[in-house]
Structure formats: structure tokens, C-alpha cells
Chain A
């Protein structure tokens, strides 16, 4: 089992959850990102995700390393699904565990923000009347900035 992976099959939340649990951890925070039908009045029919899989898995693991540095004791596991996803399907699972709850919440939000910056995964929205690859709406690839 991999703690950081990109797969084409439905994500099993429990698998990632279990990988973050040990006798030191008293809190587990699980985030799931789902396919949304409505975005600013536009209806999505389905989504297609594509990834540069080996690099994406490395970058997910890097996020885990960044979290361990910022919040020592936090264990992170992330799974991202690619391929065709329907409305309400789970696209990403991010699990962070920690001895006490505060760090698990903070680390979890950090993980999803970083995922949207540095992990080479792309989403294409398919609408009733067209389709488009979606780009990052925020700052571009902060990974190459000095952190």
C-alpha cells in the first residue's frame, strides 16, 4: 500500500485513514474532495483528470515531508483519482493524523492548498455545450520559489 498515490479506480477512504493511525495519534482529519455539478452557474456533466503520475506521487510525498517539518508528529496520506469522474465522485482523499487535533486540521488544509499548487494533475470540465482544461487560478507553481 502506498501512502501517496494516483490511481484510476474509486478511492477507498478507509485505506488512507488506516495508514495514518498508530498509538501516538489521537486525532485523524479526513478531507474528501468531490466532483461538483454547479460552478458559478455552469453545469458540469462530468470531469476528466489527467496526471503525470510518477511526478505527481513524488510531489504528494513532498507535501507529506513539508507537513512533517512544519507540524512534527503529523502523519499524512493522500490519494488522488484520475480518469473520468461523475458528479459527487471522490477526486481526492487527504488524511492527516496527529497526537492532538489542532495540528491535524492545520496540516490537512495545508495539504490541499499545496496540492493545488505543485502536483501535476489536471482537471478538464465537460459541460453540456463544451469542455475546457482548468488551470490554477492562484499563484503559479510556488514550489520553485524559495520557501
Chain B
């Protein structure tokens, strides 16, 4: 599953996407756990998950056909 990343997270991983080897469908909560295992450099990073350009909670399921992104704390304006 390819996941879009931005700002501080993008800088830490050195790419605007990260790849996770997960099943066809995974909860957002489990996805977060996978991320911290596969990308230990993100330990301590705070972010929310967006699915198809909308914020979702930990119990939401995402699949490989969804557009998934990690959204660190925003600072527009």
C-alpha cells in the first residue's frame, strides 16, 4: 500500500510516499502500528490519516484502492 506523506514526515523519510506491505484491507489503527514498525524514524511523529482526501478515525478500514495520506499537524494561514 502506497501512502502519501507531507512536510515533516516527508523530510524524515526522504520521499513523498511510503510503502507498506499489508493485506487488502486494514484498519487505520493497525496501519499506524505498521508504520511505526517499518519506519522507526517516524517514532514520535504525530499525524492523522486521510482516506480519499477526508480525515478518518482509527476504526475505519482502508484498502489498497483507497488514496491514503498521513497528515501531520497543520499550520496554514
What is A's interface to B at a CB cutoff of 8 Å? 33, 49-52, 54-56, 58, 80, 91-92, 112, 115-124, 133-136, 140-141, 143-144
Q: Contact at B55–A141, with CB atoms within 8 Å?
A: yes
Given contacts A58-B53, A58-B54, are A115 and B76 in contact (CB under 8 A)?
A: yes
CB of B16, distance to nearest CB on chain A (Å): 10
CA distance A60 to B8 in the complex (A): 22
A-B pairs under 8 A by CB, number: 86
Q: Contact at B7–A115, with CB atoms within 8 Å?
A: no
CB of A81, distance to nearest CB on chain B (Å): 10
CA distance A118 to B46 in the complex (A): 15
Residues of chain A lying within 8 A (CB to CB) of residue B46: 135, 140
Given contacts A58-B54, A140-B46, A141-B48, are A52 and B4 in contact (CB under 8 A)?
A: yes
CA distance A135 to B55 in the complex (A): 17
Residues of chain A lying within 8 A (CB to CB) of residue B6: 50, 52, 120, 122
| B8, B46, B76: residue with the most chain A Cβ atoms closer than 10 Å | B76
B33 at the interface (CB under 8 A from A): no
Contact of A116 among B7, B56, B74 (CB under 8 A): B74
CA distance A81 to B71 in the complex (A): 19
- Would you list 20 pairs from A and B whose C-beta atoms are within 8 A, ordered by A residue? A52-B69, A54-B53, A55-B54, A55-B71, A56-B76, A80-B77, A115-B76, A116-B76, A119-B74, A122-B6, A122-B72, A122-B74, A123-B75, A133-B8, A133-B75, A135-B72, A136-B75, A141-B55, A141-B73, A143-B55
